[in-house]
Chains A and B, each alone.
Chain A
Amino acid sequence: MSNGALRVIDFGPVSPLQSQTLWHAIAHGVSAGSPPTLAFMQPDAPYVSIGFHRRLDEIDGTYCRAAGLPIYRRMVGGGPVYLDDGQIFFQIILPLAMAPPVRSQAVRTLLAPAVDAFQAVGIDASIEPAGDVVVGDKKICGHGAGQIENAVVVVGNLITRFDHTAAARIVAAPDEESRAEFEALMRRYVTPTPAAATAFAAAATMAYATRLGLQPVDGQLSALETEKLAEIDEDFVDDDWVRGSERAPTGVWQVKVKAGVFLITARAGGSSVRVSIGAGRILRVSLSDRGLNGATKGTEKSLIGMSVSEASATLTRFGFGGDRLAGLLQTIEQAVRA
């Protein structure tokens, strides 16, 4: 039972491993009866984290090993991300019964106090309909959510400094042009919002307590959570856990920059398409097929602003080479999932 308390734990700088395992341990504790909890922490070194369902080969493992970047799989959603000490993580962890029962509602409701906190420290943040926390059209906060036993967790971060190059480097891009495009899209759509971590934590504590109707109380891990942390510390470095469940490859390479903004590359039979998509429209496209006969640049330009299906229909009119590229675009259209 919560007894009306919001337990607040500010762990400060922690190891990359414990910047993930601490809040998983707390979720098990909250599931077993610990009070609703708001936690803060900052990884003291860079690392890579991947969402629960995602394929490990989305990450360039060879590079990460060479660069000394550990990889940890989290039990919430989203893709592979680069994390470092320029990011202060926060997690709100509630018993299942306290969270909105509908998933789409839970994330938005539990990110709303974080938006209040950003605003309180002078950042003009809002939540887009698609769920990202933004300033204007730039994402300022990575987030993920999940149910762990009988607790709901929503995680996010205050990004005081963001290394776009490192973030682009850790993904297993099919070629360096795709990686460069990914970095360019991140520079366009992801931005840090420098703010004092202590001020943000204080504002977030007030905002979560107010919105949840709870009284903030400084706390620490329970005995059960400490015990669970030791277990999870071991589990999260287990190769099988990091590898994740078997999933078939999708046939395309896809990265999501923010909600609605994707970079996707598809290849087949000597043809390839790389397309950047924003709000359902083509921002940039790169085509390769011997059948285009020197019309490549003009064709690429003509497709900008179209939806993927419109571009596919347009390419079909180009004959054999266009058909091949149109087929790749159809594959891309099917692959785009929010």
Chain B
Amino acid sequence: MTVEMVSGFAVATDLAYDLDGHMWILVLDSGHVRIGMDALGLETSGTLSQLSFRSGIEVVRGESFGSLEAEKFVGPLISPLSGRIVAINEAAMADPGLVERDPYGEGWLIEVEPSNLVTETAQLVGDRELIVDGFREKVRQYKLEGVIAE
């Protein structure tokens, strides 16, 4: 995995991203897809205190596959892909700090058996240059809005 620093945030540039939803995907050798949160999304969520995932369900791109709690805010985790959830990261549920410490590795969230991979992956950002530019723009936007410190 190639991790670069972009505007102060670690970004694994060989993954594909839903930049607005701050989710990444990694297609595994099995054909299943691993999904996690990116470092910028974690920064803007605040300290994660709880995570829960809906195991065994069919999830639709743009809909919730679980929930997170940070700063007493409970919000949905939005899937960047459709498919059936085949694995959840129990270690991340037990220790949400794992997601913050290693968002692109041990801190993954779920794995799905995708139902529409080609079409939906085309809607994600997978090109290194576009990923870097996209993160840079997001950081700039969040700084302008005062969401993250200068």
A contact residues vs B (CB 8 Å cutoff): 51-54, 75-78, 100, 102-107, 131, 143-147, 245, 247-248, 250, 334, 337-338
B45 within 8 A of partner (CB): yes
Once bound together, how far apart are the Cα atoms of A248 and B49, in whole Å? Answer: 14
Taking a contact as CB atoms under 8 Å apart, the answer to whether B48 and A145 are in contact is: no
- Specify the main secondary structure of chain B where it touches its partner: mixed
Count, chain B residues at interface, CB 8 A: 27
Taking a contact as CB atoms under 8 Å apart, the answer to whether A76 and B93 are in contact is: no
> Which residues of A are found within 8 Å of B52, using beta-carbon distances?
53, 245, 247
Taking a contact as CB atoms under 8 Å apart, the answer to whether A337 and B147 are in contact is: no
CB of A256 to closest CB in B, whole Å = 9
User: What are 13 A-B contacts defined by CB distance under 8 Å?
Assistant: A51-B72, A53-B50, A77-B74, A103-B73, A104-B45, A104-B46, A105-B147, A131-B71, A147-B73, A147-B74, A247-B52, A334-B97, A338-B49
- Specify the main secondary structure of chain A where it touches its partner: loop
CB of B25 to closest CB in A, whole Å = 21
Taking a contact as CB atoms under 8 Å apart, the answer to whether A146 and B74 are in contact is: yes
Taking a contact as CB atoms under 8 Å apart, the answer to whether A77 and B97 are in contact is: no
CB-based closest 6 A-B pairs = A53-B50, A146-B74, A77-B72, A104-B46, A145-B73, A338-B47
Taking a contact as CB atoms under 8 Å apart, the answer to whether B93 and A144 are in contact is: no
Taking a contact as CB atoms under 8 Å apart, the answer to whether B73 and A106 are in contact is: yes
Once bound together, how far apart are the Cα atoms of A191 and B48, in whole Å? Answer: 27
Taking a contact as CB atoms under 8 Å apart, the answer to whether A104 and B70 are in contact is: yes
Once bound together, how far apart are the Cα atoms of A144 and B72, in whole Å? Answer: 5
Once bound together, how far apart are the Cα atoms of A247 and B71, in whole Å? Answer: 19
CB of A71 to closest CB in B, whole Å = 18
Partner of B74, one of A131, A145, A245, A247: A145
> Which residues of A are found within 8 Å of B47, using beta-carbon distances?
337-338
Once bound together, how far apart are the Cα atoms of A247 and B72, in whole Å? Answer: 18
State whether A337 and B97 are in contact (beta carbons under 8 Å apart), knowing that A53-B50, A104-B46 are contacts in the complex. Answer: yes
CB of A89 to closest CB in B, whole Å = 15
State whether A337 and B93 are in contact (beta carbons under 8 Å apart), knowing that A53-B74, A78-B72, A102-B142 are contacts in the complex. Answer: no
Taking a contact as CB atoms under 8 Å apart, the answer to whether B73 and A77 are in contact is: yes
> Which residues of A are found within 8 Å of B71, using beta-carbon distances?
77, 103-104, 107, 131, 145, 338
Within 8 A of A (CB), among B69-115: 69-76, 90, 93-97
Once bound together, how far apart are the Cα atoms of A103 and B70, in whole Å? Answer: 8
Once bound together, how far apart are the Cα atoms of A52 and B44, in whole Å? Answer: 21
Q: 1/0 contact trace for B125-150 toward A, CB 8 Å?
A: 00000000000000000100111000
